[in-house]
Amino acid sequence: MTINGTSKVCGVIGCPVEHSVSPMMHNFFSEELGLDLVYAPFLVQPGKVGEAVKGAFALNIHGLNVTVPHKQAVMEHLCGIDEGALAIGAVNTLVRQADGYKGYNTDAEGILRAMLEAGMDIAGRTCILLGAGGAAKAAAYVLVREKAAKVYLLNRSLEKAQGLAAEMDRLFGTSVCQAMALDDWREIQEEHCLAVQTTSVGMSPHAGQAVIEDEAFYRKLDMAFDAIYNPMETKFLAMARAAGAKTENGLGMLLYQGVAAYELWNPEVRIPAELAARARERLIAHLEGRRLEGRR
Ligand code: ATR
């Protein structure tokens, strides 16, 4: 790809940002679509997000992704926030406007598209959401909006689960959410559940752990989704698979939040399914390559 004077610049702000696969994905989209747009990683220290957004605007940066730890802090530095992002309480995509950036959250759309593609139906289903952090908020929003019959929210700190449950029920005018401590899963009577794992437990380099390690839990599940994609099969997914559940890792969520962001920055573009599939293959190859390197 040739960068020239007319190239649009997008990027990701985060800390750390070195391991982000977003530059690879977005530059691949641009190359394949023949768009004059480049995407770069920007390391932004905690507390510096306001300056970064102001600087980005002054530098005529076209759009940004926002990752840990800035997804909430960035919200006060924007000229507008999309309704969904406001409801979720986190922004992961900035779209340039005349007077600043408007914030969006494409994680919710990412998780929904990934689940639908994996054949995981939400409507009418009992769902068990593990975690109450940033990723959990996007997942809870999707599960309630897509009319889950029940959403059990389990988290290590119960107050956070209670806060999220109350917030989602208030937002959608429902009473489907129930907060619980992690160990209280035994109180869940339903079977054939869809579990969505959003905690950081099991993520590389701490693979080999699952937030719930009792096999009996996994026998309650028909389907298990893990927001983690490295490793590609977490212990959570391995245990769910062993119990006979359909499983899906977080790669599709990563891919589709990126697709949605790219389409927000380029409203005239729709990324074809075939291109998304090739981007997924590249992400997998990259992640497998990194694991091989790690073993040496
Ligand atoms: P993200 O933005 O990826 O969701 P986060 O907001 O830091 O990250 O949330 C991390 C989630 O993993 C939280 O639900 C956290 O539980 P607490 O709210 O109790 O902190 C959960 N988590 C992290 N380490 C955990 C552990 N060792 N056991 C159980 N839950 C853990």
How many other C-beta atoms can be found within 10 angstroms of the C-beta atom of residue 65?
Answer: 28
Residue nearest atom 16 in ligand 1 by C-alpha distance: 156
Termini Cα distance of the chain = 32
Q: How far is the CA of 183 from the centre of ligand 1 (A)?
A: 15
In whole numbers, what is the pLDDT of the chain averaged over residues? 96
Section 39-60 average pLDDT: 98
Q: What is the DSSP string of 172-207?
A: HT---EEEEEGGGGGG----SEEEEE-SSTT-TTS-
Going by pLDDT thresholds of 50, 70 and 90, the confidence category of residue 184 is very high
Q: List the structure tokens of 210.
A: 């699952």
**pLDDT at 296 exceeding the cut of 90:** no
Q: Counting atoms of ligand 1 from 1, which one is nearest the CA of 90?
A: 2
Section 248-270 average pLDDT: 98
Task: State the pLDDT at residue 278.
Answer: 97
Answer whether 236's CB lies under 8 Å from 226's CB.
Answer: yes
Q: Residue 43: phi, psi to the nearest 5? A: -80, 115
Residues 64 and 25: their CA atoms lie apart, in Å, by: 14
Whether 201 is in the pocket of ligand 1, judged by its Cβ within 6 Å, is: yes
Residue nearest atom 31 in ligand 1 by C-alpha distance: 199
Q: List the structure tokens of 155.
A: 């988290």
Q: Counting atoms of ligand 1 from 1, which one is nearest the CA of 136?
A: 4
Section 33-60 average pLDDT: 98
Section 269-288 average pLDDT: 96
Proportion of the chain in helix, strand, coil states, percent, rounded to 5: 45, 20, 35
How many other C-beta atoms can be found within 10 angstroms of the C-beta atom of residue 45?
Answer: 11
Q: List the structure tokens of 5.
A: 């004077």
Task: Give the bridge partners for 221, in sequence order.
Answer: 193
Whether 250 is in the pocket of ligand 1, judged by its Cβ within 6 Å, is: no
How many other C-beta atoms can be found within 10 angstroms of the C-beta atom of residue 143?
Answer: 28
Q: How far is the CA of 213 from the centre of ligand 1 (A)?
A: 16
pLDDT digits (tens, 9 = 90+) for 109-137: 999 999 999 999 999 999 999 999 999 99
**pLDDT at 142 exceeding the cut of 90:** yes
Whether 67 is in the pocket of ligand 1, judged by its Cβ within 6 Å, is: no
**pLDDT at 95 exceeding the cut of 70:** yes
**pLDDT at 77 exceeding the cut of 60:** yes
Mutate to test the pocket of ligand 1, among 20, 160, 200, 201 (most ligand atoms within 8 A of CB): 200
Q: How far is the CA of 153 from the centre of ligand 1 (A)?
A: 13
How many other C-beta atoms can be found within 10 angstroms of the C-beta atom of residue 277?
Answer: 10
Q: How far is the CA of 39 from the centre of ligand 1 (A)?
A: 29
**pLDDT at 181 exceeding the cut of 90:** yes
| Cα 184–chain centre separation | 26
Helices and strands, counts by H and E, the chain: 10, 12
Q: Residue 255: phi, psi to the nearest 5? A: -60, -50
Q: How far is the CA of 133 from the centre of ligand 1 (A)?
A: 6
Q: Residue 17: phi, psi to the nearest 5? A: -135, -5
pLDDT digits (tens, 9 = 90+) for 186-209: 999 999 999 999 999 999 888 999
Residues recorded for the chain: 296
Whether 66 is in the pocket of ligand 1, judged by its Cβ within 6 Å, is: no
Going by pLDDT thresholds of 50, 70 and 90, the confidence category of residue 290 is low
Whether 202 is in the pocket of ligand 1, judged by its Cβ within 6 Å, is: no
Answer whether 218's CB lies under 8 Å from 242's CB.
Answer: yes
Q: List the structure tokens of 134.
A: 């940033």
Task: State the pLDDT at residue 206.
Answer: 85
Question: Which residue numbers are catalytic?
Answer: 71
Distance set, CA 268 to CA 22, 35, 54, 124, 271 (Å): 21, 11, 26, 35, 10
